[in-house]
Amino acid sequence: MPGQGAVPVSNMLLYLMIAIAPTAACWALLRLPRLARRLRRATSVSTNPPIERVAADLRRVHRVLVGYGPGTPMVRRTGALQAYDALLMQACRAIDVPHRLDQLPMGTPLEVERLRVEQSLISAGLVIR
């Protein structure tokens, strides 16, 4: 009879499940706090660089911008300004200063916003010059 061999195997599997389930449940309860700490630590890790590094980069790029002479190619000047704006936006995000640097077109409105953001960051205690 082919059906009789399957009954002892299923009974054995059922017995193993009943015997192992309480042990597995206790093990999981004991490991749960450690798993929660790992998840909390993993979600709190920031991808933004430290504000000290952003401030140092701002000072470095600002010195480069001030050091450009009259013969500096426009491409180099524009690239440095875009890098400076990106660093300003990182600093604004880090210390919660509102900005519109990514919304304004190149020109006078962007330059005015850049000056306003610089002054706001300086007022917040960030040394960028």
The 10s digit of each residue's pLDDT in 61-109 is 999 999 999 999 999 999 999 999 999 999 999 999 999 999 999 899 9
The pTM of the whole model exceeds 0.75:
no
Q: How far apart are the C-alpha atoms of 54 and 60, rounded to whole Å?
A: 10
Residues 6+ away with beta carbon under 8 Å from 38: none
Q: Convert the chain into a string of H (helix), E (strand) and C (coil).
A: CCCCCHHHHHHHHHHHHHHHHHHHHHHHHHHHHHHHHHHHHHHHCCCCCCHHHHHHHHHHHHHHHHHCCCCCCHHHHHHHHHHHHHHHHHHHHHHCCCCCCCCCCCCHHHHHHHHHHHHHHHHCCCCCC
Question: Which tens digits make up the pLDDT trace of 18-41?
Answer: 989 888 888 888 888 888 888 887
